[in-house]
Amino acid sequence: MEIDRSKISPMMQQYFEVKDKYEGCILFFRLGDFYEMFFDDALTVSKALELTLTGRDCGLEERAPMCGVPYHSADVYIKRLIDLGYKVAVCEQLTDPAETKGIVVRDVIRVVTPGTLTDSSMLDDGTNNYMCSIFYDEEKKLCAVASADISTGDAYLASFGGKDLEAGVINELSRCRPAEIIFPESFLSLKTVADFIKTRLGCSVTLRDSECFAPDLKRDMLAEVFGVSSVEELGISESGADCSAACGLFDYINDTQKSSVSRFTSIELLSSDAFMGLDLNARRNLELTETLRSKEKKGSLLWVLDSTKTSMGRRMLRCWIEQPLKSPARIIERLGAVDAFCKKSVILGDVSDLLDRVYDLERLMTKVMYKTANPRDLKALSATALQLPLIKAELAKLSESKLITRCNSEISTLDEIVRLVENAIMDEPPVSVKDGGVIKDGFSEELDNLRHVMKNGKEIIEEIERSEREKTGIKSLKIGFNRVFGYYIEVTRSYYDLIPEGYIRKQTLANCERFITEELKTAENNILGAKDKALSLEADIFAEVRDFLSTKLESVQKTAAAVAQIDVLASFAEVSIRNLYVKPEISIDGSIEIHAGRHPVVELMLKDEMFVPNDVYIDTKSSRMSIITGPNMSGKSTYMRQTALIVLMAQIGCFVPADSAKISVVDKIFTRVGASDDLTAGQSTFMVEMSEVSDILKNATPNSLVILDEVGRGTSTFDGVSIARAVAEHICTSKKLGCKTLFATHYHELIGLENELEGVKNYSIAVNKHGGTIRFLRKIVRGGVDESYGIDVAKLAGLPNKVVSRARELLEEMEKAHASEMTAPVKDDGGQISFGAVSRESALDMLERTNIDELTDAECRELLRDMHAMIGG
């Protein structure tokens, strides 16, 4: 919209001066009790939020388009705009309009973006709201990802290099699922990561100047954020990609929050050695935190394991599920803590009850640090702190667990916070300080005096009136009040001769006159000014209390982290008791042995039938690969997923759904499950499948667990069989990969691999066939099957009987034709039947299906004799 700024009003000129600095944002411009938007912003917001579009005189011939929202409910509208992809700059009045001559001073106090939300009302209390900064060093081929949640004070830094650089970055972004990503121009050369962000994450992105990431310019700022003299104290290099990513992140936070960032106390350096590798496909296919189809929590592993009582615990539980441990010692430590809770269920119940009274310490402290905490927030902090000594007393009874003991030692009772808040703040304070009634009586003598004047103003005036009657002898003297003169002394005409010299005449009426005295004026000032003074003093006292609490950030943050751990461990124990889970044995021999394992989610979702448990045994030697055959709907996918979930549950430190389990730690879990066209990326089902398989073959290690479901089904049968077999051979061969693998397939040709490749074992789903019907027993049994039962499954799915019957007829015809082709003699060039050609074809087929490298010398000689006999030698 073209505007002649030389003609607009002074207030509107001020608006444009601010707007010019924040062109990419919707400007919330404070005018009295409203935040107003003008011109293009007004047109945009009125349409987006369905607000009434009005106008305001601005010095131009046409009124300026305008819409607005009440300041006290602005957060609701800001959140809606953020969800729609906008950024909002909040411009506040910085001076009191009543005391300002001319235009009120205004400026932006914060910029709200998807990654900088801090108010609990705008956030999911069980999910972190991460913002990420990505920096790529094109010369050194190194990349770093810094992530932070302003609302909780969590901060992480991960570095990547080598051939797996982009895969590492994508996995880190998959883990934290940021609401916003910032990066310099150099990042755009990482095409694969950029495409992933665009097509799979769909979050807000911001391109920033390279200077924002420059260590030379921002390094001191970064050190100041964490209160250290050098970034090297944090384990960050002085000028590497890691330093650049962190500098860029906290520079952006400074810019948007308009203040030095004092919310963060530490930054955790993430290492691939500490946590299990899980790519986006594994997270999605295993449905760790949300279901694949509906994106809901119910039906996910998180839903099963979440019996946490606190918001902090819910966020930490999600974090643990997203980051399973690789250290056997740490896993065993967690399992020991869960075991201690399970064995002392009464203590578990008491701890859970106490945790239920704990508020969100992390997000409350964020409000304190950014000076947005209200009186009830401070009372919530204190109420939580009052529970801490009780929690510590219960945890002390579980001294057999080193982890619980360590957490207990890290929980502070926050006595100073309790004493100050309980002495200073009313038991049930109002939401806002401006309403008064926040500070307790007895905390401030000055405030008590002001309140005394406010409450006893009438008695003070009555006392002056009585005193003046006695001094003057005027029996009809009375004190009144109006808005023009305030308090006054009224004397009737008959007593004029008794009026003393100290009386100052203010008004003459027909039958009386009105006067004031110095004493009365002083009382008036005290009474009328007491409320304003009391409100101002309460606000000052509240600010002092809040500022004192901000000095306890580190202690509160450490306590919050320890309480969150206890909450998650107690949740694991509660779920384990309720669902009859067992403590897994953590092994180092490379095997995974599960007896009567169950799918943690499916068993809870089933209503009309019992879940059928199954055994699992895979290792790195003779049972590296389990090839599982069986019809659709029989339970192959469930079996494979439950195995992966049981391993993952063990490595997050939770008991598992089985009668017994021995788990060797895996470094990564990969899944290739299901088929769906990735239309947004322009890829077909088969292309997506092959890309996922390719990623697995490139990134899996001998210590990985791989889940493969129907590899090769997206193309022709012969191509599919060839690809499936080649993939199986590559994974199973110890010289190439040799990792633990569950491989479900419809290609019965792969059954023969058990006799050809070391480490392959055949399994199938037991089927009960009676007459013309089949029933899936859901039981995994040894050995493969060469029948797909496809038509039977179609019948179960409800296909009309005529269609099913016709399908059986066609199947019989095709099977007979195939058999004829296999046995038909081949004609030679002269048109004569050549049975030798048939034999030679059979011999060649045998040779192609044989892996010579896997045979001993004796087996090779035997094979050669068989082939020689087949061709009539």
Residue-wise pLDDT for 167-225, tens only, equals: 899 999 999 999 999 999 999 999 999 999 998 888 999 999 999 999 999 999 999 99
Q: Positive or negative, the Cα torsion across 369, 567, 304, 171? A: positive
* Spatial separation of the C-alpha atoms in residues 281 and 169, rounded to whole Å: 14
Q: What beta strand segments (E) does 389-485 contain?
A: 478-482
* Spatial separation of the C-alpha atoms in residues 649 and 651, rounded to whole Å: 5
* Spatial separation of the C-alpha atoms in residues 862 and 847, rounded to whole Å: 12
End-to-end CA distance of the chain: 92
- DSSP state, 232? G
Q: Is residue 347 pLDDT above 60, yes or no?
A: yes
* Spatial separation of the C-alpha atoms in residues 390 and 106, rounded to whole Å: 48
* Structural contact between residues 603 and 303, judged by C-beta atoms closer than 8 angstroms: no
Q: Would you state the structure tokens that stand for residue 778, as one six-digit string?
A: 């859901």
Q: In angstroms, what CA-CA distances link 596 with 96, 579, 616?
A: 72, 14, 8
Which among 352, 410, 421, 362 has a CA at the least distance from the CA of 386? 421
Q: Positive or negative, the Cα torsion across 320, 324, 328, 332? A: positive
Q: Is residue 849 pLDDT above 60, yes or no?
A: no
Total residues found in the chain within this entry? 873
User: Which amino acid does the sequence have at 579?
Assistant: N
How high does pLDDT run on average in the chain?
A: 88
* Structural contact between residues 762 and 784, judged by C-beta atoms closer than 8 angstroms: yes
pLDDT at site 200: 86
Q: Would you state the structure tokens that stand for residue 827, as one six-digit string?
A: 């004609």
Residue-wise pLDDT for 632-678, tens only, equals: 777 889 999 999 999 999 999 999 999 999 999 999 999 988 654 44
- DSSP state, 199? I
Report residue 368's pLDDT band, with 50, 70 and 90 as the boundaries: very high
| Beta-strand pair 88-93/26-31 | parallel
Helices (H), 397-517: 402-410, 415-424, 445-455, 457-472
Which among 816, 823, 820, 848 has a CA at the least distance from the CA of 838? 823
* Structural contact between residues 24 and 87, judged by C-beta atoms closer than 8 angstroms: yes
* Structural contact between residues 213 and 248, judged by C-beta atoms closer than 8 angstroms: yes
* Spatial separation of the C-alpha atoms in residues 825 and 602, rounded to whole Å: 53
Which among 727, 666, 657 has a CA at the least distance from the CA of 278? 666
How far out from the chain centre does Cα 498 lie?
81
Q: Is residue 46 pLDDT above 70, yes or no?
A: yes
Report residue 831's pLDDT band, with 50, 70 and 90 as the boundaries: very low
Residue-wise pLDDT for 551-576, tens only, equals: 999 999 999 999 999 999 999 999 99
DSSP helix, strand, coil percent of the chain (3-state; round to 5): 50, 20, 30
pLDDT at site 309: 97
* Structural contact between residues 666 and 618, judged by C-beta atoms closer than 8 angstroms: no
* Vertex 29: Cα angle to 27 and 30 (nearest 5): 150
Residues 6 or more apart in contact with residue 246 via CB below 8 angstroms: 133, 144, 146, 157, 222, 231, 236, 267
Secondary structure of residue 615 in the 3-state scheme: strand
